[in-house]
Amino acid sequence: MKANVKRSTVVAAFIVAVCADLLEMAFGMIFAEGFASPLNDVMDVVVCIILTALLGWHLAFIPSFLVKLIPVGDLAPTWTIAVLIATRAGSIAEKEPPIIGARKSGVVDVEATVERSVPPEK
């Protein structure tokens, strides 16, 4: 996955993957070995290109693409699973401003002095 992918990009990738899987499940019998089978193949190639453009190349896209070659493989939500795998360990960019200057370690070095007050003698 690309470094520092924005949350909106990940959401867009999930929307593309879920829509593609829902279309394949809804029209599974038409896409199976009928006249629309080439349309299903074209849709899978387009989905793979879109997801790669959004998230960057990930190894999880290969099995998802190859499972579609199995006749009943279209009934599994493989694109959604591939996006889940591709984004599970990736770093999502937050809206924090970048640190300018020297990198800070997060450790605060504080020097403290303790003074005892002695009560006056009577």
Tens-of-pLDDT digits for all 122 residues of the chain?
A: 666 778 889 999 999 999 999 988 887 776 666 555 778 788 888 999 999 999 988 888 888 878 877 767 777 888 999 999 988 865 554 444 455 555 556 666 667 777 777 777 76
Can you give the pLDDT at residue 33? 64
Q: How many CA atoms lie within 13 A of 15 on its CB side?
A: 7
Contact yes or no for 31/116 (Cβ under 8 A): no
Can you give the pLDDT at residue 102? 55
Contact yes or no for 59/80 (Cβ under 8 A): no
| pTM over cut 0.85 | no
Give CA–CA dist 43/25, Å, rounded: 13
Rg of the chain's alpha carbons, rounded to an integer? 26
